[in-house]
Structure 1
């Protein structure tokens, strides 16, 4: 396993991955602007799956669940430049301009910019700095992030509504949220945070509405989804276990057989 992250500032990094794949379930604290230099990235949200290829640029919104799978491609490592757009920096940016924007509620989604020349030029200009010795000047980093935000606003007229959403999750309907997001292998603490609850309140409310422990319910729902993908969509177990929230293929196979009495491959 060869996974490397280089930071030139806490908010700008270059990630490189040489192994077969790298998978994570994440709720990012900050918006993430990504330029995929090589390889492929699959992002799975509750209601949509995205596949990005070399050259693509995309924005992952903060505080939304996603499964992210990074693949090397054709013997070339997965490599990406990532820029964090922090809440503090965005507040400073919008306080310094008369934007006239209106905060509206937009559907949460990954914003794709393909290989937009302005964004690509901005992000590509960061690559030489990863080879520098010594600290990266903060004033230059700040200018680069401000440049990226300005370009996003120029090419996507709806982006203000995304970037100016500074709210933290409030208490929401637990049943609706969990039925939509159970396939994400997040900690119970994170599920609690995203539904506006402490861990103890989350566990109490969960048992009350589902009449089961969170772990038991989550396992059951993930196995049901896996069964559907295997039986109806003819997917391979090696693809399914990642998409439904399991971390290990052998553990998935063991749990699946314990539930259904047969190994996952028997359904293909």
Structure 2
């Protein structure tokens, strides 16, 4: 695997990936603004799948579960400029501007800006700095991030409902959340955090609701979803195992055969 990340500041980076694919399941601590230079990315959320290609610009909000699969494309690596919009930075920004009545948007979605010329110009202007020697001046980095936030607010009048939300996840309906997000292969601590619970409270509440352990329930639900994709959607096992929360094809095939008595390929 040839995966490189080059930082000019802790909040601005250039990522390059030149292997077959790179897959991760994560909850981002900060909002992430991404501009694709080359390659392709599939982002899978509980109720929607996004496909982004060369030139696309999008914003991934913080504290939302997502499976991200990055692919090289057309002989070029997967390459992207990524800017973190941290809570601290956004608090400083909104302390100096009038944002009007604050309405919170907790909708789990990715915000796509296609190849908007203002955002593209802002992010493309960072490229020369990755080629410089020495330290990238913090005052210039701050100006670039402020510029990006200002452009986002100009082209999407509702973006304040996302960027100006600094609340942490509160205690929510555990059963509903898990039924919607079981396909994400996250540590149980993360599931607990996103439902407003400590790990011990999460485990206790989970057993009370589902009458089994989280690990057993998650495996069962992921295998059921895989069976549906294979049987009804006629997908290949190599395409399914990543999307339903398994880390490798051999483990998926073993668990599937143990559950259903046949290998996944028998259904395609």
TM-score tier, shorter chain, comes to over 0.9
Q: Deviations over 1:28-68 (max 9, x none)?
A: 00000000110000000000000000000000000000000
Q: Which moved more, 1:44-53 or 1:106-115?
A: 106-115
- SS in structure 2 at match of 1:180: helix
CA distance in 2, matches of 1:55, 1:241: 28
- Could you list the runs of 5+ residues in structure 2 that have no partner in the other structure? none
Encode CA deviations 1:63-106: one digit per residue, 9 max, x unaligned. 00000000000111000000000001001001011222432335
Alignment correspondent of 1:45: 45
Q: Residue in 1 aligned with 2:3?
A: 3
TM-score (norm 2): 0.99
Return closer, same or farther for 1:106/1:174 CA change in 2, 3 Å cut-off. Answer: closer
Specify the SS of the correspondent of 1:233: coil
Q: How many residues align?
A: 268
Offset from partner CA, 1:7-48 (integer Å, 9 cap, x none): 000000000000000000010000000001100000000000
For residue 256 of structure 2, what is the aligned residue in structure 1? 256
Q: What is the root-mean-square deviation in Å for CA atoms of aligned residues?
A: 0.7
Is the Cα contact below 8 Å between 2:58 and 2:110 reproduced in 1?
Answer: yes
Q: Distance in 2 between matches of 1:109 and 1:7?
A: 27
The residue that corresponds to 1:168 in the other structure is 168
Distance 1:101 1:83, change over 3 A: farther
C-alpha distance in 2 between matches for 1:10 and 1:107: 27
Deviating above 6 A after TM superposition, structure 1's stretches of 4 or more consecutive aligned residues are: none
How far apart are residue 107 of structure 1 and its match? 2.1
Stretch deviating more after TM superposition (67-76 or 100-109):
100-109
Q: Is the CA contact 2:102–2:164 (under 8 Å) kept in the aligned structure 1?
A: no
Superposition TM-score, scaled by structure 1 size? 0.99
Question: Contact 1:17/1:79 (CA < 8 Å) preserved in 2?
Answer: yes
Residue 54 (structure 2) pairs with residue 92 (structure 1): no
Task: Spell out, residue by residue over 1:207-231, the C-alpha distance to the aligned partner (whole angstroms, 9 max, x if none).
Answer: 1100000000000000000000000
1:59–1:112 contact (8 Å) kept in structure 2 = yes
Structure 1 residue matching 2:193: 3-state secondary structure: helix
Secondary structure, aligned partner of 2:144: helix
Consecutive unaligned residues of structure 1, counting only runs of 5 or more, are none
Deviation at 1:184, TM superposition (A): 0.2
CA contact (8 A) 1:2 1:18 kept: yes
- In 2, the alpha carbon distance for the partners of 1:130 and 1:25 equals 27
Mapping for residues 188-207 of structure 1, pairs under 5 Å: 188-207=188-207
